[in-house]
């Protein structure tokens, strides 16, 4: 997989993510020169190429002079959850839009979530677009693919993790105890959480609406709910 952008490279360097090759534009600039020097210090593979090569590699003119070949994206194994102390998980039940996925990743990282879980089928996967929308924060969180979301929820509940699904018929989110260990489930942009997944949740939570607004974009809902988890855990911590 080839991703692009200066901030993406900065996140890759900060998280020591493995790279196959870094392509830099032959156009000189202060920030680009600093990045090249940092890559040299770390002895990472890189090359200098003209803008047309970078455009071909990234399929865009907005590559900011940097394209990074990271190879195949590394999804994490479900077993990693057992090693987490009081985990905070985000479960995405068939989110389709890569822009929503990327935005949710960024919010999940910012609010302190440990992992994001997605189904292997009928769901947006990690793509260069997702990485770009997340502004590279995807490299700071565990992304897990599971065959069956409902079964995954059953398994984590047995670990003592409370699971709450976002649904219009739920309890008002700020009146719900969202202290860790906890998982928040967000559903498909059009149909919401599937019934078989919903019934596995410990409870449903909702964001109250005014002026006859029926729902919010799923990435906006994620921002509200995930920051409520962070707020409650900061308030309740000793």
pLDDT string in tens for the chain (238-residue length): 999 999 999 999 999 999 999 999 998 778 899 999 999 999 999 999 998 999 999 999 999 999 999 999 999 999 999 999 999 999 999 999 999 999 999 999 999 999 999 999 999 999 999 999 999 999 999 999 999 999 999 999 999 999 999 999 999 999 999 999 999 999 999 999 999 999 999 999 999 999 988 889 999 999 999 999 999 998 654 4
**Residue 78 CB neighbours (<10 A):** 17
| Domain extent listing, the chain | 2-69, 78-236
Q: What confidence score (pLDDT) does residue 212 get?
A: 87
User: Can you give the pTM of this predicted structure?
Assistant: 0.93
Q: Alpha carbon 221 to chain centroid distance?
A: 14
**Residue 214 CB neighbours (<10 A):** 6
CATH hierarchy code of domain 2-69: 3.30.1330.30
Task: Please state, in angstroms and rounded to a whole number, the distance separating the CA atoms of residues 114 and 87.
Answer: 6
CATH hierarchy code of domain 78-236: 3.40.1280.10
């Amino acid at each position: 997989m080839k991703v692009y952008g200066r901030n993406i490279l900065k996140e890759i360097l900060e998280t020591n993510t493995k790279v196959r090759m870094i392509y830099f534009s032959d156009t000189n600039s202060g920030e680009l020169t600093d990045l090249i020097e940092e890559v040299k210090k770390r002895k990472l593979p890189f090359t200098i190429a003209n803008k047309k090569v970078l455009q071909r590699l990234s399929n865009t003119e907005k590559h900011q002079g940097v394209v990074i070949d990271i190879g195949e994206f590394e999804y994490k194994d479900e077993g990693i959850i057992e090693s987490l102390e009081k985990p905070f998980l985000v479960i995405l039940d068939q989110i389709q839009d890569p822009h929503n996925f990327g935005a949710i990743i960024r919010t999940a990282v910012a609010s302190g979530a440990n992992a994001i879980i997605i189904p292997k089928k009928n769901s947006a996967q990690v793509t260069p677009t997702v990485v770009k929308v997340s502004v590279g924060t995807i490299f700071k969180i565990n992304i897990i693919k599971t065959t069956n979301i409902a079964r995954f929820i059953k398994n984590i509940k047995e670990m003592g993790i409370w699971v709450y699904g976002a649904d219009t018929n739920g309890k008002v989110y700020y009146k719900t105890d969202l202290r860790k260990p906890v998982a928040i489930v967000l559903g498909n942009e059009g149909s919401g959480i599937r019934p078989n997944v919903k019934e596995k949740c410990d409870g449903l939570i909702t964001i109250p609406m005014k002026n006859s607004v029926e729902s919010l974009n799923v990435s906006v809902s994620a921002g509200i709910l995930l920051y409520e988890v962070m707020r409650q855990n900061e308030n309740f911590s000793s």
